[in-house]
Structures are given as structure tokens and as C-alpha cells.
Amino acid sequence: MRLHPLDQGSSTAINLSRLKNSGYNTSELIVSWAERIDSLIIIGNGTPDDQIIGVLSFNLNGGETVGIVKPQVTGLSVIDLIKTYLAQTKIEKYLILVDQERLTSDELFRNAEKRMSELGIRPSIEEEKDRVRAYDCSIGSKKFKVFIVVNGLDEVSTDGHTVEDHLIKFLELEVRGTSKETWNSLSSKEKEDTFRKLNGMNEDSIRQLFPQQVHGLKFLEKTLQRS
């Protein structure tokens, strides 16, 4: 899967390009121009979420191109922007990546569904797995899909589950405070080395480390191939 940052000067575009420092061929990963984008990955929490999506997209090696964006708002607030994208673009498939934090995944999904309903979006569950839900949605006569992927791993002992759980598991580090604080205590070089070690991992290993994120990307890719 190749990624097209909607804003080429954004922090997300810059963070993705920095994967070059960890040995990634970013010219194959990042697409600066795309004739048509009908799928969008919306990052709810910033970085390293965007870089992890870059790593997974590169390692899974799909040929489809999707948009990627990190709005100014965070968490489930990014759902509010779907109506704007629907009105201004031809995007019909949205993958939303958010941290679990202190909620259970069921609580987070209930909050997401409530938020969609308040916006006039009618969500119908198409598939549900641990920390992943796919929805067939409609607003008026317009139909579209929303995939919500929740970052975090139960096996990582932390005060709030975030995407850093997956990196801490990979590094086999003891969590001090939260997994986010533990990851942020590493130097820039240590972080770059971590992404370098993830480069070229086989799909089974990547899937074990990032199960819900891989499932969401695979689901998105399948819908792209059918469209």
C-alpha cells in the first residue's frame, strides 16, 4: 500500500519521509500526487502512529494508493471531519486510527457510534474483531465505509493503552509510567533503529505485533480491490 499525504507539508508527510533514515525506500512508499483518492487513513493521535502506518504499508507491499492525514483535532473528534471530506472529495472509505487510552475498546466503539449518529451518520456493523470494527455507513443517500482501529495491547502493562504498546512489546522494554512515556524516553537514534529492525519483517511477525492495524489495512485494501 502506498500513502498519499493530503498535505505535503504536514508533520505526517515529514514523519513518513523520515523513515528513509531507517532504511525505507520512501519513494516507493510516499506518493506526492494521485489522480484519484477514494480511501483515507485518518490518524487520531499523531506520531509514531503515522510512521507505524508507513512501516506496515511498506512491509505489506500492496499496490493500492490511499490518502493519509492527521487533522488538528485528536481522538474520536476526527470522526466529525468525515462529513467535510464527503462533501469536498470523492473519498468513500475511511480508516480511523485511535489510541485506546483508559477506555475499554467496547466503550470506545460505543462512543464512536454515538458520535456518528449525532452527526446524522447511520452506522451498521459489517465486521467486528478485537479492537477493530468495520461499518457500512450512510448519510442521506450517500453510502460509505468507516473502519475504526484501536491501538493497544492487553499484554503490555501500562496506565493507558496507546500505539506505543506495540513498539514496547517489540523492544521487550519494561514500561515506566506509560508505554508512551517509555517510548518517548528513547533517543532519536534508538527510535530510528527500532523502525530499521521492523523493516523487512515477514508478514506473520508483523501481524503478531500489530494485529488490529494489519487487519484494518488488509480490510481497506480488499475493498479497494473490489471497487
Pairing outcome for strands 93-99 and 39-43: parallel
Look up residue 39 and give its three cell numbers. Answer: 480511501
What is the average pLDDT score of the chain?
Answer: 94
pLDDT reported for residue 200: 80
- Using one digit for the tens of pLDDT, what is the confidence trace for 161-210? 999 999 999 999 999 889 999 999 999 999 999 999 999 888 899 999 99
Half-sphere exposure of 127 (CA within 13 A, CB side): 15
Q: Are 147 and 135 spatial neighbours (Cβ–Cβ below 8 Å)?
A: yes
Q: How far is CA 137 from the centre of its chain?
A: 19
Q: Are 216 and 147 spatial neighbours (Cβ–Cβ below 8 Å)?
A: yes
Beta bridge partners of 132: 129, 149
**Mean predicted confidence (pLDDT) in 21-36:** 93
Pairing outcome for strands 65-69 and 2-5: parallel
Beta bridge partners of 93: 39, 145
What is the percentage of the chain residues whose pLDDT exceeds 70? Answer: 98
**Mean predicted confidence (pLDDT) in 211-224:** 87
pLDDT reported for residue 227: 60
Place of cell 506509560: 178
Cβ count near 140 (within 10 Å): 9
- Using one digit for the tens of pLDDT, what is the confidence trace for 56-111? 999 987 778 999 999 999 999 999 999 999 999 999 999 999 999 999 999 999 99
Domain ranges in the chain are 2-226
**Mean predicted confidence (pLDDT) in 131-148:** 96
Three-state DSSP state, 126:
strand
pTM of the complete model: 0.95
In which order are the strands placed within the sheet that holds 132-139? 2-5, 65-69, 39-43, 93-99, 142-151, 132-139, 122-129
Residue type, 118: E
Cα distance from N-terminal residue to C-terminal residue, the chain? 15
Three-state DSSP state, 17:
helix
Cβ count near 138 (within 10 Å): 14
pLDDT reported for residue 225: 62
Q: Is the pLDDT of residue 226 over 70?
A: no
Residue type, 154: D
Beta bridge partners of 161: 101
Q: Give the C-alpha distances (Å, rounded to integers) separating 197 from 30, 78, 91.
A: 20, 31, 34
pLDDT reported for residue 86: 95
Q: Is the pLDDT of residue 221 over 90?
A: no
pLDDT reported for residue 36: 87
pLDDT reported for residue 27: 94
CB neighbours of 19 closer than 8 A, spacing ≥ 6?
Answer: 26, 29, 51, 54, 55, 58, 195
pLDDT reported for residue 223: 74
